[in-house]
Amino acid sequence: MATNTAAGGASNLLRFWPWVVIPLLALILPQIFDSRHGITLLSHMGIAIIFALSYNMLLGNTGLLSFGHAVYYGLGAYVAMHVLRMVNDAGGEGLPLELIPVVGAAAGLFFGVIFGSFSVRRAGVVFAMITLGLGALVHSSSLMFSDFFGGEAGLFGNRVAAPSLFGVDYGSNTNTYYLVVAWALIAAIFIYLLRKTPLGWMANAVRDNPERAQFVGYNPTIVRFIQFALAAMFAGLAGGLFVITDEIVNDESVGQIQSGIVLLGTYIGGIGYFIGPMVGAALVTVLESSLSSYTEAWVLYFGLLFISIVMFAPMGLVGIVHTQYLTWKAGGWKGNTGIRLYMLLAGLVGIFGAICVIELSYHYFRSWDPSAPFGLMGFTVNATTALPWLVSFGIAIIGFGLMLFHGKPMLARRISATSEGGNA
């Protein structure tokens, strides 16, 4: 995978740019989006990033597809919540708030060791099915054992009624956000360094060819087990942070939807890159919270985005950018930059048309009065007349048609005409 290829000294330095840019972004963004909602969203992004990075330890690094990673996130959150409540009940004496996520991590590790002990014997479909079953089991049990899980209402805690290690007042959302950033940075560094240990390399070997890894003298089951337990630990850490930012935890946090979202986010970002899951998790969090207030169709957009990534760009969004960057650096853009930009533009036009069609359909089928005037991309249209439909379909067809049947052949001809190298 791309990030694991050995590189020379100069590009080694270059490869550390995310470690500068992302923390800088984390410090600048709260200055721009300083509303209460904005800060909460940023905190959730930080948590989602830790969760997605831990998920990618399984999917990207070890080749284990899990449909139940939220189990460790949720159980970590529940245990952390119980500790927070104990601290609350003791009148704010006991474990400092900054260390509550460690409790979540310990719980994640604990359950990861237990459940991992029998689920990692095989990779592939068997592992995916076991995690699916475990996820459903834990989610259903969460409604049965209401002593621990608090039933459908969930459990509440109070982060202010807990001591702070550094005397910080966590009544302010911004201070809580910086706590999330600090933990996210620590988790990211640890997960990154883990990839560079022999364990990380063996995980890659087990992913690519378990038989050969075994011949080298490593037990694939043990390697998978350690990766699984460590991933569960970081998921629990994310769960513990969630308890601090939201002060509530309910059965949704162990549920299948949570497991699905982390899988979607990680894959959309790109499982072959360290920053892929970060980009994906941040994007998914933003889409989930902002798109859902814009349009009813956000789940559909989400699903379509995911399917297109799986079909056309299995290396994810970061993968698209990285491939284009490599092509550009190798001089593959020479003489055809215009065509590439033209294809990009045509594709965007096509997507724009498709969005118009979907929005029209939602208005037509879902609203009480389809003929009511309806604002679409700045125009006020009537969805029961043919014109907006014709125009929207027209834009979509022209955009995608130009991209696939005009731009793509043209690019292929130009590349084969100029040289034998270079790929799109």
Partner 1 sequence: MFETIAYSILNGVLYGTLLFMMSSGLTLIFGMMGVLNFAHASFYMLGAYFAYTLGLATGFWVALFLAPILVGAAGALVERYGLRRVHQYGHVPELLFTFGLAYVIEELVALFWGTVPVPYKAPASLDFTAFSLMGLDYSMFKVFILLVAIVMFVGLWLLLKKTRAGLVIQGALSRPDMVGALGHNVPMVFTFVFAFGCALAGLGGVVGGIQFVTDPGMAFMMGPIVFVVVVLGGLGSVPGALVASLIIGILQTFFLSINFSLAGAIGSLGIEDSGFFGVLWHMETTRIAAVLPYLLLVLTLIFRPRGLFGKREA
Which residues of the shown chain bind partner 1 in the complex (CB under 8 A)?
59, 63, 65, 118-119, 122, 124-126, 128-130, 132-134, 136-137, 140-141, 144-145, 147-148, 260, 263-264, 267, 297, 299-300, 302-304, 306-307, 310-311, 314, 361-362, 365-366
C-beta closer to partner 1: residue 245 or 259? 259
Q: Please, what sign has the CA dihedral across residues 6, 11, 13, 19?
A: negative
Q: Among 321, 318, 285, which Cα is nearest to 49's?
A: 285
CB of 270 to partner 1, least distance (A): 13
C-beta closer to partner 1: residue 174 or 214? 214
CB of 154 to partner 1, least distance (A): 18
CA distance 379 to 255: 40
Are 133 and 220 a contacting pair, CB within 8 Å? no
CB of 362 to partner 1, least distance (A): 6
C-beta closer to partner 1: residue 307 or 372? 307
CB of 392 to partner 1, least distance (A): 15
C-beta closer to partner 1: residue 27 or 129? 129
Are 256 and 135 a contacting pair, CB within 8 Å? yes
Question: Residue 159: what residue type?
Answer: R
For residue 263, give both structure tokens. Answer: 């899988």
Q: Among 161, 1, 32, which Cα is nearest to 90's?
A: 161
CB of 306 to partner 1, least distance (A): 4
C-beta closer to partner 1: residue 159 or 322? 322
C-beta closer to partner 1: residue 306 or 333? 306
CB of 378 to partner 1, least distance (A): 23
Q: Please, what sign has the CA dihedral across residues 398, 401, 402, 403?
A: positive
CB of 303 to partner 1, least distance (A): 4
Residues 6+ apart with CB under 8 A from 83: 95, 100, 103
* Residue 260, number of CB atoms within 10 A of its CB: 15
C-beta closer to partner 1: residue 175 or 308? 308
C-beta closer to partner 1: residue 215 or 365? 365
CA distance 187 to 209: 28
Q: Please, what sign has the CA dihedral across residues 343, 344, 349, 354?
A: positive
CB of 108 to partner 1, least distance (A): 19
C-beta closer to partner 1: residue 238 or 268? 268
Are 227 and 69 a contacting pair, CB within 8 Å? no
C-beta closer to partner 1: residue 132 or 168? 132
Q: What angle do CA 67, 70, 76 make, to 5 degrees?
A: 150
CB of 335 to partner 1, least distance (A): 30
C-beta closer to partner 1: residue 101 or 220? 220
CB of 395 to partner 1, least distance (A): 20
Phi/psi at 249 (nearest 5 deg)? -145, 135
CB of 2 to partner 1, least distance (A): 15
